């Protein structure tokens, strides 16, 4: 598939996930082994101090990594993910850039950085890594 085909396919896939629709999450760009996604701030994202909740951060990073993995390995499911909350997750919009570190037959290793768009520009708010299993491998 070329990047435009990957993008169209992931934009379509993205619309099938109820949580992604609720988040207002959109697929910005895709290439082999890489994906960039974005979503605007919404009120319901807040934890008790008003930043985006760790679950919003984790779900966003998990989604970006899943899309990056899909470009290389087809349908995948996350089996493990880890998130580093390096700064309060604030921003009028969030952006995540994910990449495949290593795609194997039974596991795909990915990594991601998440940024908040603020008046000072893009600020790194979290990093994460997601381990995914190709659905084909799981069914083998």
* Binding positions for a second copy, rule: CB under 8 A: 13, 16-22, 43-49, 53-60, 62-63, 77-87, 101-102, 104-107, 109, 111, 124, 127, 129, 131, 133, 137-138, 140
Select 2 or 16, whichever has its Cβ closest to a second copy. 16
Q: State the minimum distance, in angstroms, from the CB of residue 13 to a second copy.
A: 6
DSSP labels for 81-136? EEEEE-S----SEEEEEEEEEEE-SS-EEEEEEEEEEETTEEEEEEEEEEEEEEHH
Task: Give, in degrees to the nearest 5, the angle at Cα 36 between 127 and 119.
Answer: 70
What span, in angstroms and rounded, lies between the C-alpha atoms of 110 and 101? 5
Q: State the minimum distance, in angstroms, from the CB of residue 29 to a second copy.
A: 20
Select 36 or 66, whichever has its Cβ closest to a second copy. 66
Select 102 or 120, whichever has its Cβ closest to a second copy. 102
Q: State the minimum distance, in angstroms, from the CB of residue 40 to a second copy.
A: 15
Q: State the minimum distance, in angstroms, from the CB of residue 28 to a second copy.
A: 18
Q: Is 93 exposed, middle or buried (0-12, 13-18, 19+ CB in 10 A)?
A: middle
């Amino acid at each position: 598939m070329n990047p435009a085909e990957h993008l169209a396919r992931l934009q379509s896939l993205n619309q099938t996930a109820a949580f992604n629709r609720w988040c207002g999450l959109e697929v910005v760009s895709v290439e082999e082994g890489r994906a960039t996604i974005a979503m605007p701030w919404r009120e319901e994202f807040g934890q008790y101090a008003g930043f985006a909740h760790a679950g919003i951060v984790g779900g966003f990073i998990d989604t970006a990594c899943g899309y990056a993995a899909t470009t290389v390995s087809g349908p995948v499911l996350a089996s493990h993910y880890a998130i580093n909350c390096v700064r309060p997750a604030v921003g009028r919009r969030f952006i995540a850039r994910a990449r495949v570190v290593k795609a194997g037959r039974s596991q795909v290793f990915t990594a991601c950085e998440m940024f908040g768009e603020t008046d000072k520009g893009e600020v790194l708010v979290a990093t994460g890594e997601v381990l995914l299993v190709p659905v084909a491998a799981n069914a083998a």
